[in-house]
Chains A and B, each alone.
Chain A
Amino acid sequence: MKLRRLNLPWRQPDLEAGPIRLSSRRLFILPTRIGLVFAALLFGLLMASSNYAISLGYLFTFLMASVGMAGLLHTQRNLLGMVLRPLPVTPVYAGEAAHFKLQVDNPDGRLRGALVLKQGPHASAEADLPGRSSVALEITLSQTRRGYHRIAPLTLASAWPLGLFRCWSVFAPDWSVLVYPRPAPEPLPLPESTGTGQGKAGDRAGEEEFYGLRDYRPGDSLNRIAWKNMARGQRPLTKQFADLQGETRWLDWNAAPEQETEARLSRLVRWALDAERSGQAWGLRMPGTTLPPGRGDNHLKQALDALARYGEA
């Protein structure tokens, strides 16, 4: 048999993708503070039994001690065999809190009690998990920096059923949140459309112009499916047209009045949100990335994504 790497509480856990099954080798257990008080009480009971020569006192003390030991095994059993699945995290703006939801599956028929997900000082609400069911434990972590952040190792813990021992498992899921830059707080007018670049505003007023393809989504008009591409064996794509009746706005890196990079990114985010609200098609131009003009949630997401990841290696 191959020797597997030992899990030790002080060792950083390996990064894991996909569902995590809690096996006994990754569970740790120690008495709680009240568990230590319980041990002291048992010692006191033992002393009293021998002091007063109470034979039943011995039996009672030993019974309670054994209940504690059985409780230890039950506490370990409480976490054993559970499957943890990190759920996708909705992106947030810097300064907001991201909600990490961990789906905990209980594959067995028995009740799992008082589970709590923790990371540092942050903890989820406690949850009981009846047999063969799932629960999502949510941990809320405020995000200060933009970018794509992987969550630090997490702890799933429980002291159930007796509260005398606490069992926990540390795990590092491949679980990240995309944090958009914080939108600049003060509104500035959107940059004027300059007409430079690819925009051909006013050429064919009143018509829509094809400007790109995106993944097909159920509900898209059949007329707009790129059948030619499909015939070439590609996945279904939908043609996108921009209403170029008005002007196409370009949100340009250089147009932002701020000089500092993060401030500039914040400005562009603010502009992107404002532009999207205005109903006009808009494009984004920044060092390394140019997003052709467009509209819609997907377009906005692409822009925010690019802004969030600006400067990433």
Chain B
Amino acid sequence: MAKPEPGVLWLVGPLVLALLPQVLFLPVWVSVAAGLIVLWRIGPGWRKNAPGQRILIYPLLIAGAIGVFLEHHTVFGPQGGVSLLVLMSSLKLLESEGRRDHLVMTLVGYFLLMTTFIHDQRPLTALWLAMAATVFTASLIATQSSTLLPWRTALRLGGSLMLQALPLALLLFVLFPRLHSPIGGLTQTRQAQTGLSDSMSPGTISQLIRSDAIAFRADFASAQVDGHALYWRGPVLGQYDGRNWRRLDANDEDVTAETLGRPLNYTITLEADNQPWLPVAGLATGLSLPGAHETADLEWLAAAPVQERQRYAVQAWLDYRIESTLSPARRARALALPEGFNPRAVALGRSWASHGQSAQAIVDAAQAYFRDQPFYYTLNPPALGANAVDEFLFGSRRGFCEHYAGAFTVLMRAAGIPARVVTGYQGGEYNPIGKYWVVRQRDAHAWAEVWLADQGWVRIDPTAAVAPNRVELGIEAGLPDTDRTVLNLPAAWLQPLRLTWDYVNNGWNQWVLGYDFERQQRLLNAFSPSLTSLRGMLWALLAGAAMLLGGLSLFLLRPSRQARMDEAARVYARFLHRMAKAGLDKGQAEGPADFARRASRDRPDLAREIEAITRCYAGLRYGHAPREWLADLQRLTKAFKP
């Protein structure tokens, strides 16, 4: 293959850098087509201004547009539009030659970089795109010159341009007024992610906990809180069909709730999981999220499935009493069991009830049953048949939290105690650098709630009876050694690195990605309340931009050494003129130092000034005097009146 000329590399290289992260989101055929076109351009087959080549571009473009339409059903927007743009920009390569084409390609490249952010705003992606933008700028500089600049020079210039632009960009980022909400309300682009769902069957949660993904981060107002001990409530499942637990359909009755003790304040930053659940620990009175609402089962739901990272502040009471009187309809639903399933479990529950024990005693008996029988906590339980609870309770006795929570709830309902399954998260990891708790999908958990007279709904975690470590120390400690491999746990020595990286990520999420209207208001208010108004922001923006640009122009447009030398010579000539008027002429062959010595001898009263002026001048003219000396020389000469 012939070596492509460097101008082509400046054209193709940045574009390839911009396209690489796009490959993750583009349809495969678009990436492959773009790659082939790039290879064509730099390969030996490409000819400058070849008419056949030019004619080929248009059918290819039309075919590409049709392909994009078939793929996305549109040629606009963040998916179809970007696919088409990628095809168009790579095709444009085939006919790009001159400087103008290069400029256009660079602008298209900047736009392509921007579209990447629609899909991916992680710190490393941002770093990559910043690098690509620098290379684009360098390529612009290299090709704007009349002869192609060496790549090193161009990259250095491009890099310094980016660095010089950075302070102004940050100022604009902080001060540019943010909108309350998106103006257009356009299509969301995020893909569905794993998270808690509104139904639970054996295996649901044990699948979920294989994911290392972060569910949310919790930041407590007080440092003493042990995030580990908290149960983060997700969907509450009150309906059982023999296999699956589901949420109750009608769930909007008013129930009583009573808070006890002191409230706890914390902020949750929830990752997008395409689910409506807003995890909350304790009884919350309200969430700082528009549209968030609470159901009768004490679930918090967002107005729509969470497509973007959300942040909400919570004030919650960990001690509370809810629904101290249970309506007959709700009581019936909390006792319902499907006919013909799990006869042995139902019989066991009924036998406890027939002994006339109190509800509390029955609950204790069930927990004791789990503790005393050889139950085993494992991620790899055997498959269960139609009577899953029976097989689990009296056969395999190997299961994960959903098995224990489900079986326990069935037993309670059989014994006449209203009960339900609650899913959510329990545990988490403390990040000592950022002083917040990280809860991952692997911390997903299921437990049970029973309704006791006078106490309302009471949380019972049957898993704690089997594997107390799961509840006290977290999933990693709860599982047997053989199961831990599926958890995708990091090596211990990586832990500090991982915590730091999470800290960086969290800061990035909070301050860069999450920098919205609310956060901007809070930050600016911390500086000065006057900044929070639109007018204040704009004034501060103008003043700051003027200062930064002024400083940059002072730095960039400062007089060069040559200009300083010329100015010094001009000022010195004025000095000589004044000396001549005072009767002291510098001879043609006399150097400034010699002249100063002679003049000082003749006019001892002026010796100090003469000496100072001459030293400044000589330093500027012949030495490497700093630029401040020029001002000194100007000042001294101005004041010099012989």
Contacts and interface: CB of A to CB of B under 8 A. Distances in A.
Given A67-B165, A127-B146, A162-B140, A52 B118 contact: yes
A56 B169 contact: no
Contacts of B164: 70
Interface stretch (B279-287, B552-560, B604-612): B552-560
B328 interface: no
Interface size class of A (residues with CB under 8 A): 35 or more
B157 interface: yes
Contact of B169 (A59, A81, A107, A125): A59
A41 B110 contact: yes
Interface in B85-132: 99-100, 103-104, 107, 110-111, 113-114, 117-118, 121, 126, 129-130
Interface string B544-574: 0000010011001101111100100000000
Interface stretch (A9-17, A43-51, A249-257, A263-271): A43-51
A215 to B, nearest CB: 27
Contact of A56 (B110, B153, B168, B512): B512
B239 interface: no
A238 interface: no
B107 A55 contact: no
Contacts of B186: 51-52
A43 B121 CA distance: 20
A37 B515 contact: no
Contacts of A273: none
A303 interface: no
A159 B563 contact: no
A66 B172 contact: yes
B502 interface: no
A24 to B, nearest CB: 6
Given A34-B100, A66-B172, A70-B552, A56 B161 contact: no
A107 B184 CA distance: 54
Given A48-B114, A69-B549, A56 B140 contact: no
Contacts of B103: 34, 163
Interface in A36-83: 37-38, 41, 44-45, 48-67, 69-71, 73-74, 76-77, 80-81
Interface residues of B, number: 64
B81 to A, nearest CB: 10
Given A126-B146, A163-B144, A62 B172 contact: yes
A19 B111 CA distance: 45
B27 interface: no
Contact of B113 (A21, A60, A80, A163): A60
B528 interface: no
B172 A65 contact: yes
Contacts of A69: 165, 168, 549
Given A114-B144, A162-B144, A55 B512 contact: yes
B513 A55 contact: yes
A107 B170 CA distance: 35
A45 B557 contact: no
Interface string B24-42: 0000000000000000000
Contacts of B113: 60
B474 interface: no
Contacts of A59: 169, 173, 512
A47 to B, nearest CB: 8
A128 B111 contact: no
24 contacts: A34-B107, A41-B111, A45-B111, A48-B114, A51-B184, A52-B118, A52-B182, A54-B118, A55-B514, A56-B121, A56-B512, A58-B173, A63-B130, A65-B168, A65-B169, A66-B165, A66-B168, A66-B169, A70-B164, A73-B553, A81-B560, A111-B153, A161-B141, A161-B157
Given A51-B184, A57-B114, A59-B512, 19 more contacts: A21-B563, A21-B566, A34-B100, A41-B107, A53-B516, A55-B516, A56-B126, A62-B168, A65-B172, A67-B162, A70-B168, A76-B557, A81-B562, A113-B145, A128-B149, A159-B144, A161-B140, A161-B157, A162-B137
Interface of A: 21, 24, 34, 37-38, 41, 44-45, 48-67, 69-71, 73-74, 76-77, 80-81, 107-108, 111, 113-115, 125-128, 159-163
